[in-house]
Structure 1
Amino acid sequence: MFRVSRNLVLQVKQENSIIRCLKTSSNPAAKAAIQEKPKLKPTQEENYSFVMNLFRGQIEGSQVFPYPNVLTAEQRETLQMLVDPTEKFFTEINNPVKNEELETVEENTLTGLWDLGAFALQVPQDLGGLGLSNTQYARLVEIVGANDLGVGITLGAHQSIGFKGILLYGTPEQKKKYLPKVSSGTWAAFCLTEPSSGSDAGSIKSKAELSPDGKHYILNGSKIWISNGGLAEVMTVFAQTPVPDPKTGKTIDKVTAFIVERSFGGVTNGPPEKKMGIKCSNTAEVYYDNVKIPIENVLGGVGNGFKVAMNILNNGRFGMAAALSGTMKTCVKKAIEFANQRKQFGQIITNFGGIQEKIARMAMLHYVTESMAYMISGNMDSGSQHYHLEAAISKCFASEAAWYVCDEAIQIMGGMGFMKETGLEKILRDLRIFRIFEGTNDILRLFVALTGIQYAGAHLKELQNAFKNPTAHLGLIFEEASKRVVRSVGLSSPPSIEPYVHKELTQAASQLAVSVDSFGQAIEMILIKYGKSIVNEQFILNRIANSVFDIYGSVVVLSRATTALKEGVDTAQHQKLLAEAWTLEATQRVAINLKSITDGKSLDNYTKLRSIAKNICTAEGIVQLNPIKI
């Protein structure tokens, strides 16, 4: 046992280097990913995130079981009062085709949306909004996503990110001044991205310097691809500001968030951008020339801008999953309406296995996406602060699932799906941006993987500290040592999910538990093998993230299906089928991904892929010559 403990010390010391590396890495993508989340404190509070604990091979069920049911009777009544007119509005008034042709939302549509309160869904009622919860918000956003993603971006850019910083970080005075304005006709925008800083938001060049009299900040710089940028009168703008370093006393640049009014002067914008999709949403460059910002318009504190920006984005990502679950419903409905009427070879095409598989997979992806959206909104409404990885996953998963579902709907409809009149080609174009903006899926995958690895590494640091005073921490040391010994000789059993789920789902729960255990072991092996260099192993990090997506998706649908079975809802057996089918295939994918990050042949193939990419980049195009020699 003591030999095991000694080996454990050596492992922990090696593994602990990951924490230091994640904080100091010069790898741009790794920095962008890990900066998505505030640094972990030396002494961590207990984290109830299912995904975070997954990286330790543990089941933390408090936020995933039971499936959230957070709305009060009054909130349900309020929501129903809003759902009906919202659906009617998008059916009878909003015209997606006309909006796209005009490349702007029709005036009567905008007026109607303002009148409905759609631009201030979560602003407190006493400040001019509807005061909705996250779950209520998600339900209404789902309706918008089912009808017009361009209008959805117009609404989301205004409230999900545009003035969300004022809701989250505003002082009472800032809220009282600005929230009534943005609730009643004054446009808002979120201004972060610059020509030289896309995913690496920390590298922004816009600068705000304190005036000699100390009463204003003088802002200079520019932003690109700003949704509502040509409309906004109130903007959340991020710029570098000189800040004294408390450790060294030297002045350094740190990002600060500001509330900027166009009326301050010096704020201009370029013409609306021409885009592949979401054409009716206004997207423009915004320029700041010696803009005088009162010091009371600093948002969230000087030097805290990066934290403000990331938390704004984290807070709103669940809404994207809700909107895209609505989009998927529309795509499935269009495809099924066609397929139920289409005959080929003497049969309706829904009788063919190939079409049935497409339909079933589309339905599973929608079920997972919808379940994630309302799981996360429910967690947030319950007061959770531990949802940031789950929100990032929901954004990635939803944007990729919606693209797949729309593409398959087009395939089911064949040539008719390719025609403009069916509306699917517009949806496909609109969908493409969702994998890019508000955090590219590539960076968010790294964020999920590296943040989880950092959390696992922090646990190992705790163990290392225990060895400094072994007498006082024998319980922790021997518990960890014995756990590893038992695991190494194959006597351990995976963490159990069965107690959480309905008895009809125990087999699926057992499959998922094996994945959780295997994932925890894989993370431990990765820490031991790569140490600090893991930040450069993006082939591996991407597969870790994909495994997390599959595991989290599985636990979410098992939770939802369990509730359906326990409550005996009419669709319970259908939901059981969706959950079982998804979990089986998801756990199979997890096994493949985890094997590929340790298997020698797979690792060698990653090296080949890296070499192929380098050759092509050096040649600035395809390397090999055309096979026809002339």
Structure 2
Amino acid sequence: MLRLARVNIQKLDALHSRCFAAVASKKAHEKDIAQGPARQNESFMANIFRGSLVPTQVFPYPDVLTSEQKELTASLIDPFERFFAEVNNAARNDENSKIDDNTLTALWELGAFGIQVPSDFGGLGLNNTQYGRLCEIVGANDLGLGITIGAHQSIGFKGILLFGTPEQKEKYLPKVASEKVYAAFALTEPSSGSDAASIKCRAVKSADGKHYVLNGSKIWISNGGMAEIMTVFAQTEQTDKKTGEKKDKVTAFIVERSFGGVTSGPPEKKMGIKASNTAEVYFEDVKIPIENILGEEGEGFKVAMNILNNGRFGMGATLAGTMKECIKKATEHANNRVQFGQKIKNYGAIQEKLAQMNILQYATESMAFAISQNMDSGSQDYHLEAAISKVYASECAWYVCDEAIQILGGMGFMKETGLERVLRDLRIFRIFEGTNDILRLFVALTGIQYAGSHLKEVQRALKKPTANLGFIFKEASKRAASTVGLGGTDLSPYVIDELQPYAKKTAACIDLFGQTVEELLLKYNKNIVHQQFTLSKLANAAIDIYAMIVTQSRASRATRLNLPTANHELSLTKALTLQASDRALMNLRNATSSYHQELNKEMSLIAQSVCENSGVHTSGVIDLN
């Protein structure tokens, strides 16, 4: 055992010497070293990348709302539901590619545009969990209208809430909360989509230092044609205080249309979310007062990422509501449609679809509210989980809506049923606020970076072994025990007895996950960033592990509280764990298998050939010469 421990420590030492911070800059790393040990990261998902179990954010399932907050939320549910039943018409909004003025006025009166703005500034003052509950209602009824609300507050003025000075908040929050002033988030450009740091829009500081002059354009801006206030990101010239070197860095600005020079193009014609206004926005010599910088000069990328990370949980809550409505329509049809002498709900093919749809909805909702309640309890470590929830929710919602259409058959394909509109609306959610492809890489590389930082701690300890014997032995013992199948992750203290066998399946996935991360780093070191086929498999395993964890936690809570839904939640959790654990293990094994390395190589060659030949590149099946 001791020899095996020494071998593992030697591997760790070699691995550390070649490991790198996958998504952090060298300067940021040096800053962290200078500041000393970082605070403990409580992210459950970040820690499994380094083979550690930190359960505080997932066990027990979070429950942070006070009785007063629950009462307030309950008092808002009925007005929101009545608005969608009596005032809003989603089909009309879609048909007209516009929300009519009366509907928008009713939304303002409802307080829907200022849900998270503090009451002192005219908003409802709700926290993230309360906001998520209302998002579910919006998602169940009209995603196009939901984009108008979300683009306004989830990202449009969210930067002012997160980074605004007291003066900025005093000036702008009352406007966007209750004075019918719309907000937008202007980041994307023709040459800058997922690569947000490559933006071309530019702001030049005046000689007297009192304002910036902004020029450039943004595309596909939600609320872009109607927003009077925008959070805009532009390149600015910054001088390094230490070296004096001048570099371009992104800065965030609060821009008012009233500044002059701000114009917008016609509404874009889109596949879905037609009711939302999407337009190109142009900036020509826009004079921005220096006091309208949001955050620090040159720190705009940080502002943008924090805004997006902060709002992603809301997408999960919204789409959990969408799935509920799709399931409701599918269930109503299955309960009433008769074919071959039986109601179709009795057929196994339909039962399998309904079960799977509910499993995915339960996991999506569990993720969204675990994250929101961690955020409300003050957590700063939710970015990996939020990215996972966005990917999971957007893909599950598409699947659920598609299967609902399948259950309804021809009726589901008809416009009057409403599901075709929902399917069109859903397609954008896998693209905007971080494409799912990029977010998978974000999950994998951010987790790998964290694992790498831990290995640096091991190396530092090895340089002074007598002073760090306890730490070194702990690390060696953990890896040695895991290698020979002893020890490992133990979830048994956190779940109820009935879920113990399922928790063991999840624990096995977590153990293999940590081992796989180390193996991949040892093999690829800094070149891991180029192994996107492999990183995607790692991210998929992470997504499945998080789904298992949050559902096991939530179902355990339901059982302990003796909720009437407890047995059903247990069934959903068991089924999900059986599916997700198999997928996770498969993805982890494939990530390091020679077979999949060969397959990845062939897939890459095929893609290169297709691109070089501008499409399909095969000989004709029939000789027409």
Give the TM-score normalised by structure 2: 0.97
Is 1:246 equivalent to 2:246 in the alignment? Answer: no
Provide, for residues 492-545 of structure 1, a one-character-per-residue CA deviation record: whole Å limited to 9, x for no partner: 232111100111111111111111111111111111111111000000000000
Distance 1:273 1:12 in 2: 55
Is 1:200 equivalent to 2:195 in the alignment? Answer: yes
Provide, for residues 346-369 of structure 1, a one-character-per-residue CA deviation record: whole Å limited to 9, x for no partner: 111111111111110000000000
Give SS of 2:282's match: strand
Compute the displacement of 1:485 (Å).
Answer: 2.7
Structure 1 residue ranges without an equivalent (≥5): 26-33
Is 1:17 equivalent to 2:18 in the alignment? Answer: yes
Compute the displacement of 1:20 (Å).
Answer: 4.4
Is 1:360 equivalent to 2:361 in the alignment? Answer: no
Pick from 419, 422, 429 the counterpart of residue 424 of structure 1.
Answer: 419
Aligned 8 A contact 2:21 2:449 in 1: no
Compute the displacement of 1:556 (Å).
Answer: 0.3
Aligned 8 A contact 2:478 2:488 in 1: no
Quickly say closer, same or farther: Cα 1:304–1:53, change in 2 above 3 A. same
Give SS of 2:493's match: helix
Distance 1:513 1:381 in 2: 28
Q: Map 1:239-278 onto structure 2 (within 5 A).
A: 239-278=234-273
Pick from 104, 113, 117 the counterpart of residue 110 of structure 1.
Answer: 104
Give SS of 2:219's match: strand
Matched positions, count: 619
Alignment-derived partner of residue 330 in structure 1: 325
Provide, for residues 214-248 of structure 1, a one-character-per-residue CA deviation record: whole Å limited to 9, x for no partner: 11011111100000000011100000111112342
Pick from 305, 308, 330 the counterpart of residue 310 of structure 1.
Answer: 305
Distance 1:13 1:248 in 2: 34
Alignment-derived partner of residue 278 in structure 2: 283
Is 1:626 equivalent to 2:620 in the alignment? Answer: yes
Counterpart AA for 1:107? D
Alignment-derived partner of residue 395 in structure 2: 400
Aligned 8 A contact 1:22 1:532 in 2: no
Compute the displacement of 1:481 (Å).
Answer: 2.1
Aligned 8 A contact 1:16 1:458 in 2: no
Aligned 8 A contact 1:259 1:297 in 2: yes
Is 1:551 equivalent to 2:545 in the alignment? Answer: yes
Q: Map 1:94-173 onto structure 2 (within 5 A).
A: 94-173=88-167
Counterpart AA for 1:128? G
In percent, how many aligned pairs have the same letter? 61
Is 1:461 equivalent to 2:456 in the alignment? Answer: yes
Quickly say closer, same or farther: Cα 1:10–1:335, change in 2 above 3 A. closer
Pick from 589, 609, 615 the counterpart of residue 609 of structure 2.
Answer: 615
Alignment-derived partner of residue 496 in structure 1: 490
Compute the displacement of 1:409 (Å).
Answer: 0.5
Alignment-derived partner of residue 527 in structure 2: 533
Give SS of 2:279's match: strand
Give SS of 1:498's match: coil
Is 1:451 equivalent to 2:446 in the alignment? Answer: yes
Aligned 8 A contact 1:399 1:434 in 2: yes
Alignment-derived partner of residue 590 in structure 1: 584
Distance 1:605 1:385 in 2: 39
Compute the displacement of 1:324 (Å).
Answer: 0.3
Counterpart AA for 1:560? R
Compute the displacement of 1:42 (Å).
Answer: 6.2
Distance 1:341 1:223 in 2: 49
Counterpart AA for 1:192? L
Distance 1:124 1:11 in 2: 49
Alignment-derived partner of residue 9 in structure 2: 8
Compute the displacement of 1:483 (Å).
Answer: 2.6
Name the stretch that deviates more: 493-502 or 304-313.
493-502
Alignment-derived partner of residue 186 in structure 1: 181
Distance 2:289 2:479 in 1: 58
Compute the displacement of 1:7 (Å).
Answer: 6.3
Q: Map 1:563-582 onto structure 2 (within 5 A).
A: 563-582=557-576
Aligned 8 A contact 1:9 1:467 in 2: no
Distance 2:147 2:18 in 1: 42
Aligned 8 A contact 1:189 1:227 in 2: yes
Alignment-derived partner of residue 54 in structure 1: 48
Counterpart AA for 2:601? T
Quickly say closer, same or farther: Cα 1:337–1:606, change in 2 above 3 A. same
Quickly say closer, same or farther: Cα 1:531–1:274, change in 2 above 3 A. same
Distance 2:494 2:3 in 1: 37
Distance 2:532 2:69 in 1: 44
Distance 2:273 2:101 in 1: 17
Give the TM-score normalised by structure 1: 0.96
Name the stretch that deviates more: 322-331 or 4-13.
4-13
Distance 1:510 1:11 in 2: 27
Alignment-derived partner of residue 29 in structure 1: none
Give SS of 1:545's match: helix
Counterpart AA for 1:227? S
Pick from 55, 59, 63 the counterpart of residue 57 of structure 2.
Answer: 63
Provide, for residues 258-312 of structure 1, a one-character-per-residue CA deviation record: whole Å limited to 9, x for no partner: 0000011110010000000000100000011111100000000101100000000
Is 1:342 equivalent to 2:343 in the alignment? Answer: no
Counterpart AA for 1:325? A
Quickly say closer, same or farther: Cα 1:92–1:13, change in 2 above 3 A. same
Distance 2:264 2:196 in 1: 21
Compute the displacement of 1:404 (Å).
Answer: 0.2
Distance 2:244 2:414 in 1: 64
Quickly say closer, same or farther: Cα 1:508–1:298, change in 2 above 3 A. same
Compute the displacement of 1:10 (Å).
Answer: 5.2
Alignment-derived partner of residue 380 in structure 1: 375
TM-align CA RMSD: 1.7
Counterpart AA for 1:305? G
Alignment-derived partner of residue 471 in structure 1: 466
Compute the displacement of 1:6 (Å).
Answer: 6.8
Aligned 8 A contact 1:182 1:188 in 2: yes
Distance 1:124 1:292 in 2: 29
